[in-house]
Structure 1
Amino acid sequence: MNMKQATTIEEVIQFLDEIIETSKLEQCAIGLFTTLYREVTLQIKHGIENGLFEDSERMEKIDVIFANRYLKAYYQFKTKEKPSECWEFSFTKGEEYWPIVAQHLLLGINAHVNLDLGIACAQVSTPESIFDLHSDYNKINEILSNLVEGVEKCLVEIWPTLTYILKLSGKIDNFFIDFSMKTARDGAWKYATEFVLLPENQREASIQERDIKVTKIARLVSNPGYFVSSIFKLIRLFEKGTVAQKIIELGKVEYLPTTKTIITPECVLQS
């Protein structure tokens, strides 16, 4: 299996499509996050084409570097090489039965935002120029927030009993709406501003240290305690369709304005 790396945003979408199709064939839940990530990438591409960003060339460069970190981790995992700890944990859970769709999405978001995003931003910047990126960086938050309501609608289609179960438990606010994606991305931005200051010979150690923190968050998402885990298992039993059908359903996500989020407190890394 070739270690594919993109050079354009069109290639990013092409390679994500290939992973999605492979995941459908293999009935592998890795394709769930990949499907959501593809839609985010597509909206960024539209933003670049429509002049949303102050520096479109820089934004595409960030997008490609960001995506290549995911692609590298995916192909390392598939070829039995060692990706970062947080991606290895996420991909391993993608091959297991019990995680619900939302957990698969959160594990991918956790690894890609909390680890990869800050690194990608720093790699296109210098200590003097990184704050020139902040305005365009914040525009990504708008794109993400406009996808959330559509994602929630898809999740309800996959497990129709979700709303009833959460209301019955009295925990609905604790599961999906406590923190916004903006909060998670603020943590990634803080890391970017710190990472860009590091000399080259200290960067790998910083990435490894960050990876450990992000993996701890992943473990909380995967095992949030007996009570919550029990509810998640009940939800899992009532999820509709095969993994491939869930990937297809998630691929129907609509781009809608919203202020909600599916990010949980455990998925936010502030520093």
Structure 2
Amino acid sequence: MKPIHTIDDVIIVLQDIINESIENKSPLGYFAALYQKVTIKVKEGIQNNYFDDNQRMEKLDVIFAKRYIDAYYGYKNNTPISSSWKKAFSISNNYWYIVLQHLLVGMNAHINLDLGIAAAVVSKEQNIQNLHNDFNKINEILSSLVNEVEDDLSKVYPFLKKILKLTRKVDDFLIDFSMELARNGAWSFAVELANTSESNYEKFIEKRDKIITEKADLIISPGLIPQLIFMIIRISERGTVAQKIEDLTN
């Protein structure tokens, strides 16, 4: 893996993961393709002075991205990674999960766990409240892309959103990615982590990781009827894994 020091380095490494996934026909590339979109939008925001502190935002983006990238290569090399990422990657070898499930289970680990950790790390020895406005802005970018992906997939599958609402659990999971709740949950975790003593730091992250791993089950195992419907959707999906990865990069 190439060294990662800047947001451009992140984009290059994500492209490596995308290329590898296309070559291996691996669904792991779905999240990488979406995440590269996120990173490019953040880079554009930095270039356009969208954030209060653009230099800090690039640093946060690198810390944030490295958590996903390290988890990806850790999974590939069979080294320890967070349980929420392990759960997200575990469905990559199962034919029956649809693209949206792959994306949401990855977002679950990255937004609900990694984003708070990155915010706490970038604010070390500073008042984390100074980051709050920029934290909200990056969440707005993340939320807009979640909606964009759902809308794109709904064009392919017109009844997808209705299907996702067949059970309240799945609906609640999707609602949890709305701007307000994703922002509040991840920010609360970031503030608590930033104010946690060094001796309890890792334990606090492990506790959060366990909660987020359990949340992943809402999308991986939404219940018999929704899963059967997802299976029907999966059979009707058009294109190869590689083609769907390329579609997500556009």
TM-score normalised to structure 1 length: 0.84
Instruction: Please list, as runs of the form range in 1=range in 2, the aligned pairs for 1:110-121 lying within 5 A after superposition.
Output: 110-121=108-119
Q: 5+ residue gaps in structure 2?
A: none
Offset, 1:139: 1.1
1:163 aligns with 2:161: no
Kindly provide the amino acid, as one letter, of the partner of residue 158 in structure 2: T
1:44 aligns with 2:42: yes
Match of 1:64 in 2: 62
Instruction: Please list, as runs of the form range in 1=range in 2, the aligned pairs for 1:83-102 lying within 5 A after superposition.
Output: 83-102=81-100
Inter-partner Cα distance in structure 2 for 1:177 and 1:223:
14
1:143 aligns with 2:138: no
Alignment check: 8 A CA contact 2:120 2:190 kept:
yes
Decide which of 233, 240, 246 is 2:238's aligned counterpart. 240
1:228 aligns with 2:223: no
Q: Deviations over 1:35-75 (max 9, x none)?
A: 11110110000000110011011000100000111111111
SS of residue paired to 1:37: helix
Kindly provide the amino acid, as one letter, of the partner of residue 83 in structure 1: I
C-alpha spacing 1:169/1:93, structure 2 compared with 1 (3 Å)? closer
Q: Deviations over 1:211-250 (max 9, x none)?
A: 1111111122100111111111111111111111111111
Inter-partner Cα distance in structure 1 for 2:162 and 2:109:
29
Q: Deviations over 1:84-140 (max 9, x none)?
A: 111111112122211111100001000001111101000011475100101111112
Kindly provide the amino acid, as one letter, of the partner of residue 43 in structure 1: K
Alignment check: 8 A CA contact 1:166 1:172 kept:
no
SS of residue paired to 1:94: helix
Match of 1:212 in 2: 210
**RMSD after superposition:** 2.1
Q: Deviations over 1:117-175 (max 9, x none)?
A: 10100001147510010111111233234334532343145xx3x22466589749964
Q: Percent identity?
A: 45
Q: 5+ residue gaps in structure 1?
A: 253-271
TM-score normalised to structure 2 length: 0.91
> Higher helix fraction: Structure 1 or Structure 2?
2
Inter-partner Cα distance in structure 2 for 1:110 and 1:165:
19
